[in-house]
Each structure stands twice: as structure tokens, then as C-alpha cells.
Amino acid sequence: MPIVTVQQSPGRTKEQRELLVKRITEAFSEAYGTSPEAVTIFLQDFDDEHWAKGGKLHSERS
């Protein structure tokens, strides 16, 4: 049973998230030969104060 975690910044619409999970499910089902029901996907949003790049919080970047 594949488990996929997508970590991203907020701001995606429900329609975008639905399309993403549909396509991820299709890809795993095809690649692994599993049923779509066997694929679990977690979407995890991180706001600008909960992720960093290059030693700076994203909220501090210009």
C-alpha cells in the first residue's frame, strides 16, 4: 500500500488538490500495479513561518 506525502505552501484550490491526488493515484496504480483504493495521499501545507530555504524562514525572504 503506497503512502504519499505532499508538502507544499498553502494557496491551492480544492480543484487543484483534487486533480493532483487523482493524477498521483493514477501514477502509483499504474507503476505499482495496485488498485486506486490502495493509494493513500497526505497533503500537508506549511505557511511561510514553518519552512525555510537558504538559512532563512520564507516569511523573512524578500
Identify whether 10 is a catalytic site residue.
no
Q: Given 2, 12, 17, 34, which residue is catalytic? A: 2
pTM for this model (two decimals):
0.83
Model confidence over 4-62: pLDDT tens digits?
A: 999 999 999 999 999 999 999 999 999 999 999 999 999 999 999 999 999 999 999 86
Residue ranges of domains in the chain, CATH in brackets: 3-60 (3.30.429.10)
Q: How far is CA 4 from CA 1, 27, 29, 33, 54, in A?
A: 10, 11, 12, 16, 26
28 CB-contact burial (10 Å; exposed 0-12 / middle 13-18 / buried 19+): buried
DSSP 37: G
